[in-house]
Amino acid sequence: MQTIGGPKPRTVLCRKTRIQKNFIGYISKKKIKKKVGQYEAEVKIDRNPPIVGDNHIEIEIKDRADKHVTDAKVLVNYYMAPMPRMAPMNYRTDAKRKGEKYRATMNFIMSGPWVIAIIITREGKTPTVKLNVDAR
């Protein structure tokens, strides 16, 4: 699993000048590619790090032949690990296909670590892509 939020910026020396380098954890959109079963899923979240409130997710799925998969049912399940004396936080939303990509909106109700499980249903199989994010 990967964590969105990434490493802290690091300072490097370049021609005797200190330059701050921003790494992937601090770009405006987060993009992750993962192989799951016979598919490769590219997941983009519009905010990095994700925030409390609405965050838009875009999922592009390709098969082994590198062709876009547009006939799958895609469900986005996002949840926070159970905590004592708190109600479970487990939410699901269907991702709607737009062109060659699937899109959904997740609403994180509090800051902290969340797990995003993208469940792809196609041809009787249901592979799942899991990501860890830290909402702020």
Domains of the chain plus CATH, in order, are 28-135 (2.60.40.1930)
One-letter identity of residue 122:
R
Give the global pTM.
0.76
Statement: residue 17 has pLDDT above 60: no
One-letter identity of residue 99:
G
Structure confidence at residue 66 (pLDDT) = 95
Going by C-alpha positions, the residue among 129, 29, 33 that lies closest to residue 74 is 129
Average pLDDT over every residue of 99-104: 97
Task: Report yes or no: 130 and 116 within 8 Å, Cβ to Cβ.
Answer: yes
